[in-house]
Amino acid sequence: MAPVGFIQNELDLKLLVLYIMARAAGPITFLQLLELALCDAGVDYFSLTQAVDHMVETGQLSKEDDRYTITDKGRRNSEICQSSLPYSVRMHCDENLVKVNEALRREAQIQSRIEDNPDGTCTLHLGFHDVGSPLLELSLLVPGRPQAIAMSHQFQTNPSGIYHSMISLLSTPEPRKENVP
């Protein structure tokens, strides 16, 4: 049976991974990489897993927590070899990268972190950034983790609405109180 897709061997797969990683707007998870690499019928989960592991071992990719980034070595190799990938595969990857890069940029703009305190409460840290500059940084003491998770989710769902509500609230002058004897 004839091979399916343009990605025929491990080298082709590694070139595809380098192409994707060089164009990703930030560190991506393996599942994001898999979704992007599945633009070609010759890609499968197991061969991609092996290729990515080998690329980490050889210093072309780095892994921190559950996210991968391309190294300088990988970027150089990508620049040298990118034309080896068929044009249609590159264009399909570029189309798919638009959505992923949009999500990565949004993720970089909106941050939340929950810190457990010894007394059972939590501190919820929220951040809303624009091009590296903080628009909003807020830390809240919350009675427990479930409430902190709910508040974090609410913030991540509508950060600009919360930001504008806070600005409006802080910018509205207090009504003047008249002294009544």
Q: φ, ψ for residue 175 (rounded to 5)?
A: -65, 145
From 80, 73, 74, 64, select the one nearest 29 (Cα to Cα).
64
* CA–CA gap between residue 29 and residue 69 (Å, rounded): 9
* CA–CA gap between residue 153 and residue 124 (Å, rounded): 11
Q: φ, ψ for residue 135 (rounded to 5)?
A: -90, -35
Most confident of 5-9, 39-43, 105-109, 174-178: 105-109
Question: What's the pLDDT tens digit per position in 52-109?
Answer: 999 999 999 999 999 999 999 999 999 998 888 889 888 999 999 999 998 888 888 8
Total number of domains constituting the chain: 2
With a cut of 50, say whether residue 1 has pLDDT above it: no
Token pair, residue 45, equals: 């989960």
2 found inside a domain: no
In this prediction, residue 174 has a pLDDT band, given cuts at 50, 70 and 90, of: confident
Range of the domain at 15: 10-107
User: What is the domain-level CATH number for residue 14?
Assistant: 1.10.10
Both 56 and 93 in one domain: the answer is yes
